[in-house]
Amino acid sequence: METKESRRIPNWIVRILILLAVVGALALRLPRLDLRPLHGDEANQGIKTSILLEEGKYTYDPIDHHGPTLYYLALPLAWARGQFDRQSLTETTLRLEPVLAGTCLVALVFLLRGALGTWATLWAALFTAVSPALVFYSRFYIQETLLVLFTFTTLAAVWRYTRSHAARWLIVAGASAGLMHATKETCVLAFASMAGAAVLTFTWVRLRDGRFLSLRPHLRPLPIAAAVAAAIVLSVVFYSSFFTNGRGVLDSILTYANYAHKADGSHIHDKPWYYYLRLLILTHNGAGPWWSEALIVGLAGCGAVFGLCQKNGNRLIQFLAFYTLLLTAAYSIIAYKTPWCAINFLQPMALLAGFGAVNLIVAVRPLIPTGVTIALLLAGVCHLGLQTYRANFEYFADPRNPYVYAHTSTALVKMTDRVEDIAKISPEGRGLFIRVIAPDGDYWPLPWYLRRFSKVGYWPNIPEDCDAALIIAPSTLYPQIAPHLRDEYQTQTYTLRPGVFRLLFVRKDLWDEFMKTRV
């Protein structure tokens, strides 16, 4: 909605506000990226990235991993920071990629300024910049923020094309759609929601305004063909590992059989349908603070209602209202849930919230002075900012933080520090033998934290000859391991994740040498 007030804002002021929003987003996302230990999923992705970085090898795994863009797009950042192997690659470098993607999400909101209006765009950018969930997962080395970025770029580019009919926007949309597919398999939920939202928007306009919207003016064969080609080429390039693994392209389709199995409601990640809404609206775990993004969710609801109820209303807002509703429903219906998936529909909620904020200010103006409403909204934004600070710099690995999910304990970092201490006094240095016993395969993120050691082995069962310079094993296995040890060991207990403990066995001669350094 382009109000009289927004039309009076000089462009140079708008540009400054845009810059401030982007800088603010970066300032919240960038500091202390190595503060939080790597989640098991991040570590797994980090190892795959390190192999690609060091050996140039990548093969798409349709069973346990997502698309390849995360790994390939990390390479330029690693090269720019002078990191060319797994020993030098750092957590900060890995997380820079989602940081940049999350910051771009804020900047690209301004592509929709012509549809949302200047003030709504600024509010939307502000909500996107400070949202605790959007910031938290912009500092998390997984595919989700990339997927959200490419999805939004697709939507924004299509909208720009419908306004200008410039072929370049449709090509951008096609390329972004291809990158969505090359990022994560759940892109199909966004594609289906887009199609459903388009049908519902056309139907709504027909019923509400008595108008018939037609796609015919936008159906131009050459730009559409170019967009489809861009999508296919990018998807094929990434899934084929740059034309070295043709099977990867086929697997990118066959993988959906695996995902259908994951969604059948029989997995440890299964949760009730209202999980995401409760996560965003109000969460309180133990003695920690209350967490809520209800301001964004509530204003998004306002924006949707205003957009749908206004005569000849904003078509983009109407589309976003249906799209967000369908996407939220799709993720809620699927039993398999992880908290980072929520940002897929939280980001369009932030757009709707910007529109809702402006319309709310106008609607309540007869009762509440504009300055008071704006002050209340800004207070809400400050509360979001406070939660963002707590989530990322105080409760960054604390299970009382609702966005922390089966996260690695900070104690594990202390254990790997102790392993480094032992290596310093060992004659073999980082070549000492480390045996990791994990009957259930639950050893991540250890491969990342032990990546600088040359002799690390992983065993699914307790071997007959169990001795090693260092042994890492579940604490519950101590009675079974002890009979298999000939050497003497000093043991220490560390937390892998909340409720999951690991014993570090240090061979007695190494422990005694280490203790001499403590005197």
CA distances, 358 to each of 304, 364, 365 (Å)? 12, 10, 11
**In this predicted model, what pLDDT tens digit does every residue of 459-493 receive, in sequence order?**
999 999 999 999 999 999 999 999 999 999 999 99
Read off the tokens for 144.
């989700």
CA distance 175 to 158: 11
CA distance 282 to 131: 14
| 6 phi/psi in degrees, rounded to 5 | -70, -35
Are the beta carbons of 107 and 22 closer than 8 angstroms? yes
Mean pLDDT throughout 153-159? 98
**In this predicted model, what pLDDT tens digit does every residue of 40-95 receive, in sequence order?**
999 999 999 999 999 999 999 998 899 999 999 999 999 999 999 999 999 999 99
Does the pLDDT of residue 123 top 90, yes or no?
Answer: yes
Which residue type occupies 155?
Answer: L
Does the pLDDT of residue 3 top 60, yes or no?
Answer: no
Are the beta carbons of 338 and 263 closer than 8 angstroms? no
Does the pLDDT of residue 185 top 60, yes or no?
Answer: yes
Which residue type occupies 55?
Answer: E
Read off the tokens for 285.
């775990």
The sign of the torsion formed by the CA atoms of 133, 136, 139, 144 equals: negative
| 495 phi/psi in degrees, rounded to 5 | -95, 125
Kindly report whether the peptide bond that precedes residue 76 is cis, defined as omega within 30 degrees of 0. Answer: no
| 172 phi/psi in degrees, rounded to 5 | -60, -40
CA distance 511 to 425: 9
Beta-bridged to residue 435, according to DSSP, are 457, 471
Site of tokens 């000093």: 490
Does the pLDDT of residue 243 top 90, yes or no?
Answer: yes
pLDDT of residue 6: 53
Does the pLDDT of residue 405 top 90, yes or no?
Answer: yes
CA distances, 213 to each of 209, 219, 256, 500 (Å)? 10, 13, 34, 57
Judged by DSSP in three states, 396 sits in coil
**Contacts of residue 308, Cβ cutoff 8 Å, sequence gap at least 6:** 204, 208, 318, 321
Q: Angle at CA 202, nearest 5°, toward 200 and 204?
A: 65
Share of the chain above pLDDT 90, in %: 89
pLDDT of residue 286: 84
Instruction: Return the percent helix, strand and coil in the chain, to nearest 5.
Output: 65, 5, 30
Judged by DSSP in three states, 437 sits in strand
pLDDT of residue 11: 85
CA distance 175 to 159: 15
Share of the chain above pLDDT 70, in %: 97
For 271-421, strand residue ranges (E) read: 283-284, 290-291
Average pLDDT taken over every residue of the chain: 95
DSSP state letters, 258-307? HHHHHTTS-STTB--TTHHHHHHH-EE-TTS-EE--HHHHHHHHHHHHHH
Beta-bridged to residue 114, according to DSSP, are none
How many CB atoms are closer than 10 A to CB 211?
11
The sign of the torsion formed by the CA atoms of 92, 93, 98, 104 equals: positive
Does the pLDDT of residue 519 top 60, yes or no?
Answer: yes
Read off the tokens for 267.
């997995």
**In this predicted model, what pLDDT tens digit does every residue of 327-383 receive, in sequence order?**
999 999 999 999 999 999 999 999 999 999 999 999 999 999 999 999 999 999 999
Which residue type occupies 12?
Answer: W
Q: Identify the CA nearest to 202 among candidates 216, 188, 220.
A: 216
What count of residues does the chain have?
A: 519
Q: Is 47 exposed, middle or buried (0-12, 13-18, 19+ CB in 10 A)?
A: middle
Mean pLDDT throughout 175-186? 97
Does the pLDDT of residue 415 top 60, yes or no?
Answer: yes
| 407 phi/psi in degrees, rounded to 5 | -85, 155
Mean pLDDT throughout 194-212? 95
Q: Identify the CA nearest to 177 among candidates 251, 222, 232.
A: 232
Kindly report whether the peptide bond that precedes residue 217 is cis, defined as omega within 30 degrees of 0. Answer: no
pLDDT of residue 1: 46
pLDDT of residue 101: 98
DSSP state of 391: I
Read off the tokens for 350.
């932030």
**In this predicted model, what pLDDT tens digit does every residue of 93-105 receive, in sequence order?**
999 999 999 999 9
DSSP state letters, 444-494? TTHHHHTTT-S-EEEESS--SS---SEEEEEGGGHHHHGGG--S-EEEEEE
Query: What spatial distance separates the first Cα and last Cα of the chain, rounded to whole Å?
Result: 70
